[in-house]
């Protein structure tokens, strides 16, 4: 807990009060006995566990790939006036196509990626005339 002793302005009492107003700090996590936080000091461990309990939705594995978070995150790469570079499609065995399609759909449904048809986009299926898509 070096964060708490950095400048001395953050008081443990104030932090506890703030965490209590944020949400449920009492109900144990599903696998709380297995949580390894690297802190052996009882007071510091209690404080970290309260923080994890308040933000329990961030650590729940919902089966998404990669795991979804409760935060509304957006990522944008500004390319300016640069032109897109056309790369050859990476080849994979036909037996891998189904698995790749499933993972792409899983990421689409989780909101990790989104469909697009711009010049910088990468086609979900490069050979639409073969697959009929």
**How much is the pLDDT for 30?**
83
Mean predicted lDDT score pLDDT of the chain: 74
**How much is the pLDDT for 67?**
59
The pLDDT of residue 3 is above 60: no
Query: How does pLDDT run across 48-103, given as a tens digit for each residue?
Result: 889 889 888 776 666 666 655 555 666 677 778 887 776 777 788 888 888 888 88
Instruction: Scan for tokens 């404080």, then name that residue.
Output: 47
When mean pLDDT is compared over 2-6, 56-60, 112-116, the highest value belongs to: 112-116
Nearest by Cα to 63 from 109, 25, 98: 109
Q: For residue 51, what are the contacts with CB-CB under 8 A and spacing of at least 6?
A: 19
**How much is the pLDDT for 80?**
82
State the DSSP H helix or E strand holding residue 3, giving kind and residue range, or none if neither: none
**How much is the pLDDT for 57?**
77
Q: Which two tokens stand for residue 64?
A: 């998404």
Instruction: Scan for tokens 């509304």, then name that residue.
Output: 72
* 132 vs 105, residue with greater confidence: 105
């Amino acid at each position: 807990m070096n964060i708490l002793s950095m400048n001395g302005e953050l008081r443990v009492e104030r932090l506890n009060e703030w965490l209590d107003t944020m949400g449920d700090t009492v109900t144990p996590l599903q696998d709380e006995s297995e949580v390894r936080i690297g802190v052996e000091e009882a007071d510091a461990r209690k404080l970290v566990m309260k923080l994890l309990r308040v933000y329990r939705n961030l650590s729940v594995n919902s089966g998404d790939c990669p795991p979804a978070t409760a935060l509304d995150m957006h990522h944008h790469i500004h390319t300016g006036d640069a032109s897109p570079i056309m790369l050859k499609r990476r080849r994979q065995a036909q037996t891998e196509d189904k698995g790749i399609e499933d993972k792409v759909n899983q990421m689409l449904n989780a909101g990790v990626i989104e469909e697009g048809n711009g010049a910088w986009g990468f086609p979900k299926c490069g050979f639409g005339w073969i697959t009929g898509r």
